[in-house]
Structure 1
């Protein structure tokens, strides 16, 4: 069994120190730019050097997050920053932007790159695709089960990293456009406004409504499952939390270190104590195992409270007394509803005490504000936090070193040490004959075993020679420091920069199709087939369990008609997990009849890049020219991200070597999730119950606090898709886009009626939007931060 990496978050230098002091094998952190946690403290260049040197002095690796999508104007600055990180000895980069990946592989080919979870790798073929592209490690989507992780990690032999503790996005990472489209703050650029933590009203046209924090998942915690996870073959266990305090990092990492050591080194670990400590540090109505064992449903959600709930303390009874459900002490933080206080006095059995235990009946002061019937929660534990604060002190953790000492009269004092299979030797002042009282071995050893602001400490010292002599203790101390600093310097050697010329890309094709329409329902297809100007139609048959939705038979029937005036495409899902083989079968059945496929699934692209004409979906998140060309090796028409504005699209298209597409009409998919809010809210779906088909009995929308309605659709594999409240409509901008050399235009129909499709087709024919309809131009004018 290979030793597994425990990877800790470091949003600050204090968090980095806390992680290392508690046994992290590696840390991940972000710089002042290009990090998916733009609102974390992060590290400027000077602090970054200190962080890298500090971590390396302990043999801890440093992974830097450069995991945001990059605008064309940012690429060269980002590449320059990557060069700086390479020079200061950073071990690996975690990256989302494929354009930057392409540049790094050309300029710094030795730099280890990890595919961010934002790239949405969620099946084996997708993992193989990005490994072929030069990614050393794949940070897997959090939606994978243990069996799926094992298949990719062990069976396919791919180095993977998985999240084991912390906040969970309800949408597949890298696929969420909700924050972006609603408020202009892009999650793909590290500025997510967390709309999933807001309250929503889920409404059916006939089934009524449910109001709660319907998109707010609990944090995950897999501390009970470490042995199974290690056996899966994954290489790294990642803790989420770059926005969390150093004490949180210290507490979580020390418990996962103990859990790992229990498996790898058979050390003792009190699991219940560890779980309680983790819950006290942060939880949202408890923890969830989410998708690890395919548990999808309301059990993984915190419907009632989207923030830290703390640990339940007890319910207030008569006389403002509480029978404690957990221990409590002075200085602890207590919450009731959205209010709270710091505990200043405890009365137990008529006596004032400093702390009380589970089961005690107590009065907690100050009493003002809460009353009978209120539920109290302990939000912070003073003793725990005081203990964890000690873990934040630099150089608290010491690395034991064995040394040899030669203490010979009329010769220099010599200290030798072995570290990392390398020998270090230093020479000090001359040892003099003792005129009065010679130094003892014990006194020399005592001086050598001191350790200040440095990671190392002598654990065992052997004297190869020892005379009755004398040397100043200060001289011994100076020589010890010189030795340790020599080792420290050796761990911080900068890498030599290696630069190569950028190699030209091989572009798969450069075709222009003009307008490409996609549809989900039979009525939409009828409207498209009736229009002689419509030449390219993509059928999405993967919502077929819904009434009037297209299915495989509709596709076959259309293909058998053999209408030469229409080019028929198959729109393939962007997310494909356990149904991968089934979808391959569908594609293979029709591959000789269809013109091509539309998808952003990397696994599908890998399999069919040399077999079929492929148009990408906008969820490939192509933000720059280099990213378009990265995919153009395998995709015939890569489509640009919907987060680019007019100016940015124009900049991307300068000197573009491939044909690209852009969406000019359709309701943007804001979220795609394995979790279904409809089944969970209306059908009582839990981790232990199967889907009951409530989603097919009605039409559902999520209504936010601004009274905007977002349609919720479910596909054949029970994934939920949340659509924007308004369709993007750039029909009037098509001519302008053509002037930028964009020559493929996508029009996507999802929940439009027959008449609405006809209306949009008429708009395209006239080149003007309908005046009586409400649309959005999305980011075309405003863009994202």
Structure 2
């Protein structure tokens, strides 16, 4: 079966371009809860008109409600979904676990799609979303052909793949760089794209301080190597047949921020390739690149490769393809590129109203009647003449593929009456095609009344290295110590203490890694670990198999009490709140599950498929590195599972000199140690127990200011 072609519609003009040029479906933003707040998006009137326009032409509309929402915003977001459902939207894309839980309860007939912002890249994660009611899962852009085929084979939901357009450096849904640097959250649709800025790679002393701590300002045009976070655009135009064979249900084109002419060009080419079951010609490839690219395209992730070849920038002097865009615009404005085939049956009888039945291939049939034909005074109208008039569907969404006209002899009917009969017939068919489906709206389930809020949190700590686990740290009596799972590849024992050991599962992995991960979980359990931190829906099946207790990590993006309720239903015993929440929002969040928050440490800005150290100066992950921006700020790089990189914030979050973090109702407060020396970990822990001086370099993170 041919995959669906899904095009971006950042504006009504782009929507028309997508539909006219062959899209099977479009995705768009309406209201305040979508991941492209800077796009033009749609007003209420435009949204209703878009639904009618698309459904009349057999094109689906998917609404993007794929941002994190606070407790105060949940009602408005749900009302947006209710209205869209009543109007007939075909599906809603969602990221927030709390909103997802609300919609599946209140709107059980509304199809839900798991947004790529849910960070799903394994069959286990996709199955978890499918079991909870997602009809489709949009998997991470970093998935290879092998990964995608495995997910398609092992997940009952439809699988959607991004095939063309911009690539984020970080796994979608896990990027906090824009939020922490400028307060504009990518998880809230406000990303400022700091990944497109220049950085340099520097070795560090091991304590997070860059040896190249004060680089000179960039002079002139930065070299290509100065953009280590700027990926080329994705182009998988040559792999569409392979995707169809492996069972990919939908091919998504990125570009809600792009102009309508871009949408027209890219949609038109991909539509042709799908219809004709082939790869692009040299001319089509050139047109795709001319429409928009960053020094060319890449299909590296699909091929399972990483490295410098995937990176590129948009040249400052890049020229707009005026002729290409002008031709695309003219074709769209002319219209008629997208029509629906219909058949007509008309009857013109003596002494009876004339009738017309119009049918489409989807099973709709509309019958209308007109005036009674009169006896001809001069020349009678013929069946052939009536057929010609009825087939004139120009300027509508329809094309008459076949017509049958039965007419008695000797009758007369004005041309205006025949035209009106045709218009009425097509309008009646349109009413059937655009009628919203009947969907239930059920009462909302109440949140659990019992509160899990605590008077004061117990301190926990997460470590990055074995050498940070010392007797002095244990003497601080943390309630829990979190250790990366991959450390258990070499650990032969764990020192005893009165608290609990917990494993941190890799934030990113693949299906092929899971046998090894299960081995390590068994080993950790044998050494005394009793729980695991789940930062992804795909972690849940692994932890269930291991028999370890489950706690939620920050990767789950818990932003509201409903998300806590959802995770409680999944069997988690606690969950970490998103560090994009303000302290006041954490305090007010309904705690239907014990909660944790990070109160110290370098907060993670990105998790990347590429090893940034290897991209910069060869495979040297054993040595500490950092990215240095144009201001001299140094962002340490941690090498993590799968030869990936986690980019840490330039300054640690520090709240030990304050008491308000103790009064948020948290059950646990976590100190997140990354590049600190063992003695520094102990010193900081004791400072949080007893108070202390403010360090020279620190940040309050988003605790006070929050995000847009």
> Which interval holds the TM-score relative to the shorter structure?
over 0.9
Q: Secondary structure at the match of 1:415?
A: strand
Structure 2 distance, partners of 1:286, 1:41, is 27
Larger CA deviation: 131-140 vs 667-676: 131-140
Q: 1:392 to 1:36 in 2, by over 3 A?
A: farther
Q: 5+ residue gaps in structure 2?
A: 206-210, 216-222
Counterpart of 1:192 in structure 2 is 191
Question: 1:771 — aligned with what?
Answer: 694
Work out the CA distance in 1 between the residues paired with 2:652 and 2:600.
Answer: 6
Distance in 2 of aligned mates of 1:158 and 1:497: 21
Q: Which residue of 2 aligns with 1:277?
A: 287
Residue 535 of structure 2 corresponds to residue 600 of structure 1? yes
User: Relative to 1, partners in 2 of residues 1:482 and 1:707: Cα closer, same or farther, differing over 3 Å?
Assistant: same
In the TM superposition, residue 273 of structure 1 has moved relative to its aligned partner by 2.2
Q: Is the 8 A contact 1:710 1:725 kept in 2?
A: yes
Give the distance between the partners of 1:222 and 1:228, measured in 2 at CA.
Answer: 10
Partner of 1:704: 629
| 1:626 and 2:562 matched | yes
Alignment map for 1:562-711 (pairs within 5 Å)? 563-577=496-510, 578-592=512-526, 593-609=528-544, 611-633=547-569, 634-653=571-590, 656-683=591-618, 693-696=619-622, 698-711=623-636
Please give the secondary structure, in 2, of the residue aligned with 1:658: coil
Match of 1:481 in 2: 423
Do 2:126 and 2:151's aligned partners in 1 also have CA atoms closer than 8 Å?
Answer: yes
**Equivalent in the alignment of 2:257:** 243
TM-score w.r.t. length of structure 2 = 0.92
Larger mean CA deviation between 140-149 and 595-604 belongs to: 595-604
SS of the residue corresponding to residue 299 of structure 1 reads: helix
**How far is the alpha carbon of 1:679 from its aligned partner?**
1.0
Matched, 1:406 2:347: yes
The verdict on how the C-alpha distance between 1:441 and 1:753 changes in structure 2, with shifts beyond 3 A counting, is same
CA distance in structure 1 between the aligned counterparts of 2:119 and 2:450, rounded to whole angstroms: 23
Does the aligned pair in 2 maintain the 1:126–1:601 contact within 8 Å? yes
In structure 2, what is the Cα distance between the partners aligned to 1:128 and 1:223? 27
Deviates more, 1:418-427 or 1:44-53: 418-427
Is residue 225 from structure 1 mapped to residue 235 from structure 2 by the alignment? Answer: no
Shift of 1:270: 5.7
Q: Does 1:540 align with 2:474?
A: no
Look up the match of 2:703.
780
CA distance in 2, matches of 1:424, 1:615: 56
Q: Is the 8 A contact 2:383 2:407 kept in 1?
A: no
- SS state at 2:503 partner: strand
2:465 alignment partner in structure 1: 521
Deviation larger for 242-251 or 757-766: 757-766
What SS is found at the alignment partner of 1:537?
strand
Q: Which has the higher contact order (CA 8 A, sep 6+)?
A: 2
What's the CA shift string for 1:347-368, capped at 9, x where partnerless? xxxxxxxxxxxxxxxxxxxxxx
Check 1:269–1:431 CA distance in 2 against 1; reply closer, same or farther (3 A cut): farther
Classify the secondary structure of the residue corresponding to 1:458.
strand
1:718 aligns with 2:643: yes
Q: Which moved more, 1:450-459 or 1:168-177?
A: 450-459
**For the residues of structure 1 that align with 2:159 and 2:436, how far apart are their CA atoms?**
27
Instruction: Classify 1:254/1:507 alpha carbon distance in 2 versus 1 (closer, same or farther; 3 Å).
Output: farther
Question: How big is each residue's C-alpha offset from its partner over 1:681-702, in whole Å with a ceiling of 9 and x where there is no partner?
Answer: 212xxxxxxxxx3222x32111
Q: Give the TM-score normalised by the residue count of structure 1.
A: 0.83
Partner of 1:325: none
Residue 475 of structure 1, CA deviation? 0.8
CA distance in 2, matches of 1:501, 1:181: 38
Counterpart Cα distance in 2 of 1:528 and 1:153: 49
The Cα of 1:676 is off from its aligned counterpart by 1.8
Deviations 1:284-307 (A, max 9, x none): 1111003111021111110xxx22
**Contact 1:29–1:242 at 8 Å: present in 2 too?**
yes
Please name the residue that 1:201 is paired with. Answer: 200
| Cross-structure match for 2:24 | 25
Question: Relative to 1, partners in 2 of residues 1:722 and 1:452: Cα closer, same or farther, differing over 3 Å?
Answer: same
State whether residues 54 and 61 of structure 2, in contact with CA within 8 Å, keep that contact through their aligned partners in structure 1.
yes
SS in 1 for 2:80: helix
Counterpart-to-counterpart distance in 2, 1:739 and 1:594? 29
Question: Which of 639, 644, 654 lines up with 1:729 in the alignment?
Answer: 654
SS at match of 1:746: strand
TM-superposed CA distance for 1:567, in Å, is: 2.1
Q: Matches of 1:136 and 1:528 in 2, distance apart?
A: 51
Give distance in 1, aligned partners of 2:695 and 2:28: 50
> Would the aligned equivalents of 2:481 and 2:502 in 1 still touch at CA under 8 Å?
yes
Q: For structure 1, which runs of at least 5 residues remain unmatched after alignment?
A: 310-337, 340-376, 543-549, 684-692
C-alpha distance after superposition, 1:459-492 (max 9, x if no partner): 3222233524321111111110000000111122
Q: Could you tell me which residue of structure 1 aligns to residue 357 of structure 2?
A: 416
Q: Deviations over 1:285-339 (max 9, x none)?
A: 111003111021111110xxx22x5xxxxxxxxxxxxxxxxxxxxxxxxxxxx45
**Of 302, 306, 310, the match for 1:296:** 306
User: Paired residue for 1:127?
Assistant: 126
Displacement of 1:501 after TM fit?
2.8
1:123 touches 1:148 (CA, 8 Å); kept in 2?
A: yes
Q: State the alpha-carbon separation in 1 of the partners of residues 588 and 695 from structure 2.
A: 33
SS of 1:557 mapped into structure 2: coil
Deviations 1:78-107 (A, max 9, x none): 111111111101110000011011111111
1:43 CA displacement:
1.0
C-alpha distance 293-22 of structure 1, shift in aligned 2 (>3 A):
same
Structure 1 Cα separation of the partners of residues 103 and 189 of structure 2: 21
Residue matched to 1:457:
399
Q: Is the 8 A contact 2:535 2:555 kept in 1?
A: yes
Mean alpha-carbon deviation: is it higher for 427-436 or for 168-177? 427-436
Offset of residue 391 of structure 1 = 1.8
Q: Is 2:382–2:407's contact at 8 Å kept on the other side of the alignment?
A: no
Q: Deviation at 1:777?
A: 1.0
CA contact (8 A) 2:364 2:433 kept: no
Once the two structures are overlaid, the 10-residue window that deviates more, 434-443 or 712-721, is 434-443
The answer to whether the 8 Å contact 1:510/1:637 transfers is no
Q: Report the equivalent of 1:687.
A: none
Q: Deviations over 1:190-225 (max 9, x none)?
A: 000001110111112499899511100011111111
**1:150-165 maps to which residues of 2 (within 5 A)?**
150-165=149-164
Once the two structures are TM-superposed, the CA of residue 386 in structure 1 deviates from its matched residue by 2.3
CA contact (8 A) 1:122 1:144 kept: yes
Q: Output the CA distance in 2 between the equivalents of 1:298 and 1:755.
A: 37
Contact 1:176 / 1:187 at 8 angstroms: preserved in 2?
Answer: yes
Separation in 1, partners of 2:310, 2:90:
35
Name the CA distance, whole Å, in 2 between partners of 1:400 and 1:522. Answer: 68
Residue pairs, 1:39-58, within 5 angstroms? 39-58=38-57
Q: Does 1:70 align with 2:69?
A: yes
User: Contact 1:17 / 1:394 at 8 angstroms: preserved in 2?
Assistant: no
Does residue 759 of the first structure (1) align with residue 683 of the second (2)? yes
CA distance in 2, matches of 1:282, 1:43: 24
1:718-749 alpha-carbon deviations (Å, 9 max, x no partner):
1011000001112344x433433112111111
Shift of 1:58: 1.2
1:83–1:497 contact (8 Å) kept in structure 2 = no
